[in-house]
Chains A and B, each alone.
Chain A
Amino acid sequence: MGEVIFWVIWALVAVSAMVVAFSKNLVYSVFSLLATFIGVAGIYIFLNADFLAVTQIVIYVGGILVLLVFGIMLTNRIVVAKITQSSLQRTTGLVVVGAIFLVLVLTLLNQTWPLATSAAEFDSTVNNIGELLFGDYLILFEVASVLLLGALIGAATLARKEL
């Protein structure tokens, strides 16, 4: 049963990602990205990374996707022309994507992928993340807030009309 669900999720991610890439209408691409993000969250759960899965849904589905939709709705081209995407610079793109694909395949082949021998117990990762975040990695946690502050001020300044 678990294996069937895994392949269904895998198919969802693959198909929706292809729609994102090949759809002529950008709005369809963005909504297809919704299925991709949710599917990736499902794969995270299969990897026993529950915190990462929830984070994926909260930030990517809840935040980034909204930003992408607004990004499309905000363009002034939307009134005069239909929002379409076209494939430009196919050769360059093919070289870059091919190189990345090669690296990924080499990584896949050169790594050993250990499988859990016994059935893993239910153990949420949130506890461990919390202990590390507020223990060993406290400085990084506080630095992250400064990074977020910088991102907030930078984004607000760039998006504002007058500085």
Chain B
Amino acid sequence: MHEHYGVVLAFGILGFILMYVAFILQKLIGPKNSSELKLDTYECGEPTEGSSWVQFNIRFYVIALIFIVFDVEVVFLFPWAVVFKDMGFVTFIEVFVFLAILVVGLAYVWAKGDLEWVKMKLKYGTGRYAATRLHESESP
């Protein structure tokens, strides 16, 4: 069977090579007038400060965890999509139950606010920000 995956391998190798072709071509035909300033790391026009090794926000991790669970869920859907035509409508109900159980999890993280990115409270929120206001009595 693996002979049929030669195409996949060829695609992978070609993509890898083409990336380096782009690098080599620009090295060969691109103009070379380098200066110290050009070798600097670009950071919005400002001189860079400190290390780029910074601590990420913990919320990325929560989102990644949620993503993996639904990633696994999607993998289970592929065999279903293949056999759906042969096995009929009953598999549709089976998958529906499967998804319904997982939607409970989605509802849970949604209700708990794990999907909300902005969690800070504004001091003087009005209009659409009124719900996030820190003190109810204060108004601008």
Contacts and interface: CB of A to CB of B under 8 A. Distances in A.
Interface string A122-161: 1110110111011100100110111011011101100111
Question: What does DSSP make chain A's interface, helix, strand, loop or mixed?
Answer: helix
Interface of A: 2, 5, 42, 45-46, 48, 50-51, 54-55, 58-59, 62-64, 66-67, 70-71, 73-76, 78-79, 82-83, 120-124, 126-127, 129-131, 133-135, 138, 141-142, 144-146, 148-149, 151-153, 155-156, 159-161
30 contacts: A45-B1, A45-B2, A55-B75, A59-B71, A63-B64, A63-B71, A70-B56, A71-B61, A73-B55, A73-B60, A74-B61, A78-B54, A127-B82, A138-B94, A141-B98, A142-B101, A144-B98, A148-B72, A148-B73, A148-B102, A152-B102, A152-B105, A152-B108, A153-B109, A155-B62, A155-B66, A156-B62, A156-B66, A156-B112, A159-B61
Nearest 9 A-B pairs (CB), nearest first? A130-B79, A130-B83, A152-B105, A73-B56, A63-B68, A155-B65, A145-B101, A152-B69, A145-B98
